[in-house]
Chains A and B, each alone.
Chain A
Amino acid sequence: MHSRSFAYFPLALVLFSLFTATPLLAQLATTSTALDIDKVDTKAFAALFRRENTYLQMAKSARSPASPEAHLDRVLPQQFELNADSSASLQKIASDWERDTGVLRTRFLQVVAQFHSTFPNGRLGPGVDSTPPSEIAELHAQMDTVTLQYRDKLRNAMQEPNFQKLRSDVEKTFAHYPPTTSASAPIATAAEVQK
């Protein structure tokens, strides 16, 4: 069952306007603090883990110990003032996170390829349904869940005050809390495409 036919645009616009004006949406917009923190953390810690893996990979493939890239494995420990134990935990956890999310990303790419293959001649156009399969959103949710699990593993591997400092620093660096005000900007999901 598809929902985003471009022909629905006028109706969607009216409905969206009505919907955004209701107290219900106001409730949705001010979701619980725990959910907001988790949402910020999924972005912040995913960025931290990506960064850790990138730096380690570049450091390992440095041409020589004297080359600037060889220093990259020290950047995050310095930037976030991690001790040796915390730094080692981050290395291991970031690597494991990449492995687990990689599996989900591979599945995501398969679903997307299958989804795009349904477009006539590989193209979208008026009357062509662009509604993504629900599995895509489910995979994103699973990736977020995995990231939060690895955030918690990192927390368990560190002393609590050290973790809280890292969390605060990582959120400041890679995500903002509370979510930016532009988050309230709605996306019209059933728009008529002007040719």
Chain B
Amino acid sequence: MKMLWTLILTVVPCVPALSQGVIGTTTIHFDPNSGIGTATCETALDSDNGFYESRTSCSVVDQYGTVVATGTADDPGDRQGSAAVTVTFTGTPGYTYTATSMHQAAPTVPFDTPPGQPAQLYDEYNFQSFAENPESYDDYWEWYGPGPQLPTKQRVIRIGNTYAIAIRYYTPTELSQLITSAQSLFPAHCDAIFASVVGPSYTNANFFAQLRITSIIQYPPGATPPPDIPNPLDYPDADTQIGQPGKPIRVFINFYPTKSGFAFPSFREFVLIHEGLHHYTGWYDFPKAGFSDFKTKFYNSGYRNNGSTTGPFTDWLHAGCPPAPPGS
């Protein structure tokens, strides 16, 4: 009979114990309107028995490893059963940010220690076994304590990490500001050439008004490439989908800031003017049967491009639409 009781009392607790663990989550989100980033890191105890408190530390770094936000949270007394920290930050367009949570459990009950020995705590689920080689998972993970019960000298046990990654896109306001800046930087001589070449339908106000309402599709570093340009190495600075409804503009990696800056300070503004003209006129960069193109249309105004890339038109605009060099 005694053996039977031992069997029952020993085996039965094994079953519900299967679900006891530590849940770690990390989320990162950018408000598409404000560009403000929010990262939240949470450690939660799953079906705990009051032997731990959860703790979380959170850090957000950009693609260069610069720390942009940090925070910590704990849950003294295991009052909530979880510890979450939320940090906010202002990101740079085109940068990729990684939020990383370090999930920890702090044992709360002392374990009897012989005199003269370092103090120990009761580790009910042997979470200390995770501390030897903490693992990282994206977004979410639950670490189930493997047992057995052990004493530990660790006052805070590092369980593992979770992380989340997000790209900061330009906000509509930032793109609108770039267009406003482009309008102010647009050389008067180029404006006159546009009026002459495009014809009476062109006005400066109408051109930039159209640009402001044009859909701009973003492909910053790390974004999924469009099907027609699967390799980011083949990205142009930008292009305009002349054959698509609404003739949307697409901007690619070079349109986003890096530590080394842009080809020239007002690069983005003149790229937008370049693409805006595609949108406005429906003209291509190079001659194409049945269509008009910049190379032909602006030849008499001084634009020359003997290469196969379209950047020279942006450069020509930026230079103030100068006449062609003698002999070219």
Give the residue of B10, B36, B122 whose beta carbon is less than 8 angstroms from that of A3.
Answer: B10
**Taking CB as reference atom, which chain B residue is nearest A57?**
B86
Most buried by B among A112, A128, A136: A112
B140 contacts which chain A residues (CB < 8 A)? 173-176
| Cα–Cα, bound, A58→B81 (Å) | 19
**Taking CB as reference atom, which chain A residue is nearest B146?**
A185
**Taking CB as reference atom, which chain A residue is nearest B110?**
A123
Task: Name A1-35 residues within 8 Å CB distance of B.
Answer: 1, 3-4, 6, 8-9, 11-12, 15-16, 19, 28
Q: Which of A70-78, A86-94, A148-156, A157-165 is the interface stretch?
A: A70-78
What is the predominant secondary structure among interface residues of chain A facing chain B? helix
> Quick check: A173 and B36 within 8 Å, CB to CB?
no
Measured CB to CB, the closest approach of chain A to B155, in angstroms, equals: 15
> Quick check: A78 and B32 within 8 Å, CB to CB?
yes
B319 within 8 A of A: no
Known: A19-B14, A124-B109. A1 touches B9 (CB 8 A): yes
* 16 A-B contacts (beta carbon < 8 Å): A11-B6, A11-B10, A15-B7, A43-B44, A54-B84, A68-B90, A78-B32, A105-B81, A123-B111, A124-B111, A132-B50, A176-B140, A176-B142, A189-B17, A189-B149, A191-B150
Q: Beyond the given A176-B140, A189-B17, could you list 13 further A-B residue pairs with CB under 8 A, ordered by the A residue number?
A: A3-B13, A12-B11, A15-B11, A123-B109, A123-B112, A136-B50, A140-B47, A175-B140, A175-B142, A187-B17, A187-B144, A187-B145, A193-B111
Instruction: Point out residues on A near B: beta carbons under 8 Å.
Output: 1, 3-4, 6, 8-9, 11-12, 15-16, 19, 28, 39, 43, 46-47, 50-51, 54-55, 58, 68-69, 71-72, 74-75, 78-79, 105, 108-109, 112-113, 115-116, 119, 122-126, 128, 130-132, 136-137, 140, 172-176, 179-180, 182-195
Instruction: Point out residues on B near A: beta carbons under 8 Å.
Output: 6-7, 9-20, 23, 25, 27, 29, 31-32, 34, 36, 38, 40, 42, 44, 46-47, 49-50, 77-82, 84, 86, 88-90, 109-114, 122, 124-125, 139-151
